Structure 1
């Protein structure tokens, strides 16, 4: 079995060993169909897909992409790729057209697995990106020129002799994730075997005792696809611990409570933009039994004190915690996960917890870049860790680190007298909408495409910006609109 302190394992070999060890445990509940998937059945499908990929000539360092909603086979291309040393790079069905085309052009995948409903869109994207994968595989019915995923699930003669890919270098890139940088379109973030295993494994072990009790069967509920580091981390962590996941196509507040009751969910991640719906939903579903829910986590965007208070009031029997992480370090950076510290979350609802011990960190002045000391002193948070990314895929990443080797997070932060961390602002010139990074320049480009718009400027809607915003409105309506011939 894999030890989290052991750096010899590849991601694929660790996943294979644990899936085999937990073969009789439930791996996935597919809520849409009531399908129950064991680790043994999931492992068989992953091995067959891996062997089929090898037959097609796919191997070490080849990019294998997928784009689909969550279902019983959505994780199979990801896991199968790690079994043969290929590099998974997963798209999200909700990713914008501009970002998808840009990332296709960057990644040049040799194989792509696509859901039937996204196939037509991807045909357009691939044409715009001038990318033609060697193989396009469709989940569901496929057209003549494409392969069906069902073909990959056919039994293989030598399944039991299948050999897992190994690497002597655990810091070799295992997965490429995506994230927006400080400027430009999303970038490919190269994450290595060691970082993914260490983050996914050690953090799950550090969670509150009640989650890891032998008397509790852990069942995890979350909604992101494998485009997001939260989903990748949960997938890897669940395999390493032999935990079950509930797979949902999309979020529905009423269904959330029914799922918790039906599958006895013990832990769920609810992004901030779903908090209001969940809180209101709880008031409307008071009779639903959610006593199994031990931990309710949130994060990935700003969470207000009122939101945290509402969550804690709606879920008095659960640990409600707010965390902070980044794809560039393969997951979580800070969280209040020690049982004795959980009361701090109630006292300090806007904190994102304490920085995990395996990070060295500093907060630097935005102008001088010199470290600031003492509580409540704001600056950019920077991290040094052996879990950081290998760099950006086919891009220069030197600017991502400072002269001392600390990763620039791009987030303005401070700590209080208890070393609790707070994220105050972003240095990056971008908005965050429902977890997506949105650059002002991209919004401006879309607005400018309208024939009635001559000029456009996108700014944040903040109290500090209101005066400027009204000034922009005034100029727009009195100067720019007058120069445009309005339709009758």
Structure 2
């Protein structure tokens, strides 16, 4: 039977799995425990992690032992299954130990990112209220400010060797702990139990907690084999991003070594890949575009097999550069959502310029007119909606019913279409937020600051495409009160003095008359009309 099954009446495309999904009894903690033992038994020297800054390595056996010790410590301080644990860390060998140990005890793991603003960090930590909070150097001051502001009663532990404060460190905990002979990971009865809460920006300006289950993570990567490849894989994302969660699953599932690099630098990315014999690298779309400027000859990357890009749209010129420079390397383009996992993946032979075809994971995809809720036929543009057995379990402590339509399809908020060969094309966003260098920018945050200026009547912020690694720059369209005289430069400075670096206005302020603003039938400002008018 063809894996693509298109229903001409409902205009829904079902993409069938080639093999049935087989969950692992006991959950991710049990799976990681058993898999780490299996890899270590086959080769005790097999490398799990490499720190590019120091050259330090950790074997799968060492990862297993460290995770067991930290899990025992967690239990000793009262962490129980279902308790929340959080981390704010740059990539570090001990970051993975925290994740695996949390799964061993059945705790629910969340991660913020050191690059987040104080306000967002406070909101996220106040949302999950973790009992343990792991930090790395470079994030300690941010976390301390959050803890003080929200009066969080969490024990702070440093993942780094040295802490500027009097925190316990993971290294000290591991040194003092002996592995119990009868250690066993917590067994999950229901694989639809939440094991992780990741965060996504909301259209109101406040991030939401996305609840992921054991089934979600197993199912998302079960289309890949369980083999030992001895690859070195590189992904710059921290555990704040779902790509890093998948990277960890891939590492343990396929026996790959994770190369840890604290920060992407376009001048050194490919030399690092060469030095450490990287076989697979996952890059955000912004990093992918920056790295395109420094592509070496293929002969300098003898181990490279796959370059995968995700996180947003990539102009064709960048893809063409990679294809021409790396003709024998798989260069893939994926479309995924934290709420749903992998949706589409570009493969050789797919339509150039598309996001590829929907993945064979018993996934159903349809294109819907967001105004009428009518399913649209092939080649027509509407909202992309997806349904599969294992998606997010909802938003943490929020009413999540609006995330799905009446038929149980997840609303992606993305506009696109399927062509006659079932290639998926992403066209635009329905949601107001846009991306700057892979970070979601929520217009409401900037608009709230602009609206606090006494001269401003209306403030609308949109993303102006840059067609480079920045993706979009924030542009403000402003209508002033009658007889007000604020200049565009004054309003731009007013915002930028009050916002963090990610939320700066970079495409300027456009002051318009009241009559130039169009409203929807419900009385809301028609953002799409303004975007069409002021962005050519």
Q: Answer yes or no: same fold by TM over 0.5.
A: yes
Q: Are 1:384 and 1:405, in contact at CA under 8 Å, matched by a contact in 2?
A: yes
Displacement, 1:178?
Answer: 0.9
Distance 1:257 1:454 in 2: 49
Distance 2:265 2:107 in 1: 35
1:481 corresponds to 2:489: no
1:324 corresponds to 2:335: yes
Q: Are 1:171 and 1:194, in contact at CA under 8 Å, matched by a contact in 2?
A: yes
In structure 2, what is the equivalent of residue 221 of structure 1? 234
Among 12, 16, 30, the alignment partner of 1:13 is: 30
1:333 corresponds to 2:350: no
The 5-angstrom pairing of residues 131-170 of structure 1 reads 131-137=152-158, 139-142=160-163, 146-170=167-191
The 5-angstrom pairing of residues 174-253 of structure 1 reads 174-202=195-223, 204-205=224-225, 217-253=230-266
Displacement, 1:55?
Answer: 0.5
User: More strand by proportion, 1 or 2?
Assistant: 2
1:351 corresponds to 2:355: yes
In structure 1, what is the equivalent of residue 320 of structure 2? 309
Q: How many residues align structurally?
A: 462
Q: Secondary structure at 1:261's aligned position in 2?
A: helix
Among 226, 245, 257, the alignment partner of 2:270 is: 257
Query: Which stretch has the larger CA shift, 184-193 or 155-164?
Result: 155-164
Q: Are 2:194 and 2:212, in contact at CA under 8 Å, matched by a contact in 1?
A: yes
Among 132, 137, 140, the alignment partner of 1:116 is: 137
Q: Are 1:379 and 1:414, in contact at CA under 8 Å, matched by a contact in 2?
A: yes
Among 385, 390, 405, the alignment partner of 1:387 is: 390
Distance 2:490 2:336 in 1: 49
In structure 1, what is the equivalent of residue 364 of structure 2? 360
Q: Are 2:23 and 2:219, in contact at CA under 8 Å, matched by a contact in 1?
A: no
Among 402, 406, 411, the alignment partner of 1:403 is: 406
Pick closer, same or farther for the CA change 1:470–1:158 going to 2, 3 Å: closer
Displacement, 1:266?
Answer: 1.2
Distance 1:355 1:182 in 2: 28
Which ranges of structure 1 fall in alignment gaps of 5 or more residues?
A: 207-211, 464-468
Displacement, 1:383?
Answer: 1.4
Distance 1:477 1:93 in 2: 43
Q: Secondary structure at 1:328's aligned position in 2?
A: coil
Distance 1:308 1:431 in 2: 21
Displacement, 1:419?
Answer: 0.1
Pick closer, same or farther for the CA change 1:21–1:449 going to 2, 3 Å: farther
Q: Secondary structure at 1:73's aligned position in 2?
A: helix
Which ranges of structure 2 fall in alignment gaps of 5 or more residues?
A: 1-19, 467-473, 494-536
In structure 2, what is the equivalent of residue 294 of structure 1? 305
Displacement, 1:169?
Answer: 0.5
Pick closer, same or farther for the CA change 1:138–1:5 going to 2, 3 Å: closer
Among 457, 461, 465, the alignment partner of 2:464 is: 461
Pick closer, same or farther for the CA change 1:420–1:128 going to 2, 3 Å: same
Distance 2:490 2:66 in 1: 61
Displacement, 1:452?
Answer: 9.2
Q: Are 2:197 and 2:210, in contact at CA under 8 Å, matched by a contact in 1?
A: yes
Q: Are 2:210 and 2:338, in contact at CA under 8 Å, matched by a contact in 1?
A: yes
- TM-score between the two structures when normalised by the length of structure 2: 0.80
Q: Are 2:135 and 2:156, in contact at CA under 8 Å, matched by a contact in 1?
A: no
Query: Which stretch has the larger CA shift, 150-159 or 312-321?
Result: 150-159
Pick closer, same or farther for the CA change 1:156–1:414 going to 2, 3 Å: same
Distance 2:356 2:490 in 1: 51
Distance 1:218 1:137 in 2: 29
Distance 1:483 1:20 in 2: 62
Q: Secondary structure at 1:253's aligned position in 2?
A: coil
In structure 1, what is the equivalent of residue 435 of structure 2? 432
User: More helix by proportion, 1 or 2?
Assistant: 1
Distance 1:8 1:484 in 2: 60
Displacement, 1:281?
Answer: 1.0
Distance 1:182 1:356 in 2: 31
Q: Are 1:279 and 1:314, in contact at CA under 8 Å, matched by a contact in 2?
A: no
Displacement, 1:288?
Answer: 6.3
Distance 1:392 1:42 in 2: 31
Distance 2:299 2:167 in 1: 45
Q: Are 1:183 and 1:428, in contact at CA under 8 Å, matched by a contact in 2?
A: no
Q: Secondary structure at 1:317's aligned position in 2?
A: coil
Among 362, 369, 373, the alignment partner of 2:373 is: 369
Pick closer, same or farther for the CA change 1:68–1:471 going to 2, 3 Å: closer
Displacement, 1:160?
Answer: 2.8
Query: Deviations along 1:423-466, whole A, 9 cap, x unmatched?
Result: 11111110111221111011223456789978643123269xxx
Pick closer, same or farther for the CA change 1:476–1:220 going to 2, 3 Å: farther
Q: Are 1:336 and 1:352, in contact at CA under 8 Å, matched by a contact in 2?
A: yes
Distance 1:171 1:359 in 2: 18
Q: Are 2:238 and 2:244, in contact at CA under 8 Å, matched by a contact in 1?
A: yes
Displacement, 1:369?
Answer: 0.5
